[in-house]
A and B are shown apart, each in its own frame.
Chain A
Amino acid sequence: MAEYDIPEGLRYTAEDEWVRVEGDRLTVGVTDYAQQQLGDVVFVELPDVGSRVEKGRPFGVIESVKAVSDLYAPVSGEVVALNAELADHPERVNESCYEAGWMIAIGGAEQSETEGLLDAAAYRRHVEERSKE
């Protein structure tokens, strides 16, 4: 059984994104489980700064050698920053999914949506459920 890093203190979605909440700025990336499932990431397509994302709707695309997956917005809001380094170094997602491999920051989210995100324990249960299959 593979080991997955699921840091305490971050919030998560069932679609395998993590969210770091700092005031009303939410930084978003994909989890260790997601990057291990994807394998070598070769391309990340992100929305422009200033565009709107809608909770549960695709905001971008992550592509590995073998597969293409949508990235889903954990909350609704406005893109206030993006990780431009991923354009040239998509492998950062594999090397450092929780730090250098971050994707976008969202501003202006409703607090109720943020509070509805999974905590580390709930997300770990979600991963373990699927690993049993």
Chain B
Amino acid sequence: MNALRRTPCFGLHRRLGARMVPFAGFSLPVQYESIVAEHHAVRERAGLFDVSHMGQIHLRGPGALPSLERLVSCPVATLPPGRVRYGLLCHESGGILDDVTVYRLAEDAFFLCVNAANVEKDYRWVVRHAAGDTEVRDRSAGTGLLALQGPASAAILERVTDLPVAGLRRFRFLEGAVAGAPALLSRTGYTGSDGFEIYLAAEHTATCFERLLAAGAGHGLRPAGLGARDTLRLEAALPLYGHELTDETTPLDARLERFVKLEAGGFLGAEALRRRQAEGPARLLVGFVLDGRGVARAGHALEREGRAVGSVTSGAPSPTLGKSIGLGYVSRELAVPGTRLEANIRERGVPVHVVETPFIDAQGRKAAPGRA
């Protein structure tokens, strides 16, 4: 058992009273005071997350663009510098190696933000499939990442940067000073609420976290942990690697086809995905709401008339909806809103029904009736 790694904010989390848990080889805060309170803070005001465990793999040089066109499922040639796109790294089988965001820094300079648990696997994969004239560097260890999420995020950021925060659109980024340190500021996140992600050198990360907390004191900002990050992303039906996405799951199963250039694509896995598209995936990812008490958790079976028809990949009480929600895979013919199933929770069959996702709307509010 290796010792857990620490992010640059480890000491700060301890001082703030966080409960630390192991996650992807790091010791990270799961909560400071309450997952539910931190969740509501993000939906209604703002929350600040240390997500420095995430990895960053940089590609630079004349081969960077052709390498990424081969490596990721989304189009990269049409991505202008200053913008971000979500995509998948796929095996040739179509199974998902990781889900990533692609940042284009310049014509021939990019980086991938990748899941902490997959950094080494992704790095090896990128090096193996990179075209000539491509410099590939794993800069995860030297890079800190903070996520400031929630409707008050822009107002808080404006207190610590001169960058034109308010005018920055979704999936775009700027480079400049944030809290006195050189940073890359991106209007992205993993919560389903408006917000920003701030990449900066590891040594400036804890100071930036503290400066943001101070700047946000009058805006209802709270530090927020992995627990709230999970319930927030679940309400937004954003998939989590290791749960909804695995080496054995394809983007089509996970209904991520809008991030896959199926027709034009010569990316790794494209051929297998075109075949799967033609056949139709045997199972599909759905959102569901519990009609009884309890929480359907990852691994619980989804059943119909006592027969297993799928399984839960994530589940939690939704603080925004006041209901217990989940994601899971079911046979394709059952992946229809309104379908009634049962979640097998400790041998207790709890009724659930399939709903449209996301569970919340773009403003982080309860979605229209018929959804949840």
Instruction: List residues of A whose CB falls within 8 A of some B CB.
Output: 2, 39-40, 42-43, 45, 61, 63-66, 68, 87
The docked-state distance in angstroms from the alpha carbon of A60 to that of B174 is 52
Q: Contacting chain A: which of B31-39, B68-76, B85-93, B334-342?
A: B31-39
B30 interface hit (Cβ, 8 Å): yes
The docked-state distance in angstroms from the alpha carbon of A61 to that of B347 is 13
Asked whether, in the complex, the Cβ of B35 is within 8 Å of the Cβ of A65, the reply is: yes
Smallest beta-carbon distance B338→chain A, Å: 25
Q: Enumerate chain A residues within 8 angstroms of B35, measured Cβ to Cβ.
A: 39-40, 64-66
Asked whether, in the complex, the Cβ of B227 is within 8 Å of the Cβ of A65, the reply is: yes
Asked whether, in the complex, the Cβ of A43 is within 8 Å of the Cβ of B295, the reply is: yes
Report the nearest A residue to B228, measured CB to CB: A65
Name the contact of B295 in the complex, choosing from A2, A39, A42, A87 (C-beta under 8 A): A42
Q: Enumerate chain A residues within 8 angstroms of B17, measured Cβ to Cβ.
A: 2
Asked whether, in the complex, the Cβ of A68 is within 8 Å of the Cβ of B297, the reply is: yes
Q: Enumerate chain B residues within 8 angstroms of A64, measured Cβ to Cβ.
A: 35
Asked whether, in the complex, the Cβ of B317 is within 8 Å of the Cβ of A65, the reply is: yes
Smallest beta-carbon distance B64→chain A, Å: 40
The docked-state distance in angstroms from the alpha carbon of A125 to that of B97 is 47
Q: Enumerate chain A residues within 8 angstroms of B317, measured Cβ to Cβ.
A: 42-43, 65
B293 interface hit (Cβ, 8 Å): yes
Bitwise, B17-60 to A at CB < 8 A (1) or not (0) is 10100000000001100111000000000000000000000000
B15 interface hit (Cβ, 8 Å): no
B101 interface hit (Cβ, 8 Å): no
Answer whether A43 and B227 are a contact pair too, CB < 8 Å, given A61-B346, A66-B30, A66-B35.
Answer: no
Q: Enumerate chain B residues within 8 angstroms of A2, measured Cβ to Cβ.
A: 17
Name the contact of B294 in the complex, choosing from A39, A40, A45, A66 (C-beta under 8 A): A45
The docked-state distance in angstroms from the alpha carbon of A123 to that of B30 is 26
Q: Enumerate chain B residues within 8 angstroms of A40, measured Cβ to Cβ.
A: 34-36
Asked whether, in the complex, the Cβ of A63 is within 8 Å of the Cβ of B295, the reply is: yes
Name the contact of A65 in the complex, choosing from B19, B36, B346 (C-beta under 8 A): B36
Having A40-B36, A42-B317, A45-B294, one finds 8 other A-B pairs with CB under 8 Å, namely A2-B17, A39-B34, A42-B324, A43-B293, A43-B317, A61-B346, A65-B317, A68-B297
B231 interface hit (Cβ, 8 Å): yes
Instruction: For chain B, residues 316 to 369, give those with C-beta under 8 angstroms from any C-beta of chain A.
Output: 316-317, 324, 346
Asked whether, in the complex, the Cβ of A43 is within 8 Å of the Cβ of B294, the reply is: yes
Answer whether A39 and B297 are a contact pair too, CB < 8 Å, given A65-B227, A65-B231.
Answer: no
Report the nearest B residue to A91, measured CB to CB: B36
The docked-state distance in angstroms from the alpha carbon of A45 to that of B345 is 12
25 intermolecular pairs with C-beta atoms under 8 Å apart:
A2-B17, A39-B19, A39-B30, A39-B31, A39-B34, A39-B35, A40-B34, A40-B35, A40-B36, A42-B295, A42-B317, A43-B293, A43-B294, A43-B295, A43-B317, A45-B293, A45-B294, A61-B346, A63-B294, A63-B295, A64-B35, A65-B231, A65-B316, A65-B317, A66-B35
Smallest beta-carbon distance A115→chain B, Å: 33
The docked-state distance in angstroms from the alpha carbon of A91 to that of B324 is 15
Smallest beta-carbon distance B327→chain A, Å: 16
The docked-state distance in angstroms from the alpha carbon of A43 to that of B290 is 13
Bitwise, B195-230 to A at CB < 8 A (1) or not (0) is 000000000000000000000000000000001001
The docked-state distance in angstroms from the alpha carbon of A39 to that of B294 is 16
Q: Considering residues A65, A68, A87, which has the most beta carbons from chain B within 10 angstroms of its beta carbon?
A: A65
Q: Enumerate chain B residues within 8 angstroms of A66, measured Cβ to Cβ.
A: 30, 35, 227, 230
Asked whether, in the complex, the Cβ of B346 is within 8 Å of the Cβ of A39, the reply is: no
Q: Considering residues A45, A64, A66, A87, which has the most beta carbons from chain B within 10 angstroms of its beta carbon?
A: A66
The docked-state distance in angstroms from the alpha carbon of A39 to that of B21 is 13
The 6 closest A-B pairs by CB, nearest first: A42-B317, A40-B36, A65-B35, A43-B294, A66-B227, A40-B35
The docked-state distance in angstroms from the alpha carbon of A45 to that of B350 is 13
Q: Enumerate chain A residues within 8 angstroms of B19, measured Cβ to Cβ.
A: 39
Asked whether, in the complex, the Cβ of A39 is within 8 Å of the Cβ of B293, the reply is: no
The docked-state distance in angstroms from the alpha carbon of A2 to that of B317 is 26
The docked-state distance in angstroms from the alpha carbon of A40 to that of B231 is 12
Report the nearest A residue to B293, measured CB to CB: A43
The docked-state distance in angstroms from the alpha carbon of A68 to that of B299 is 13
Report the nearest A residue to B317, measured CB to CB: A42
Report the nearest B residue to A64, measured CB to CB: B35
Answer whether A87 and B36 are a contact pair too, CB < 8 Å, given A65-B227, A65-B316.
Answer: no
Report the nearest B residue to A36, measured CB to CB: B19
The docked-state distance in angstroms from the alpha carbon of A2 to that of B294 is 29
Report the nearest B residue to A63, measured CB to CB: B295
The docked-state distance in angstroms from the alpha carbon of A65 to that of B324 is 10
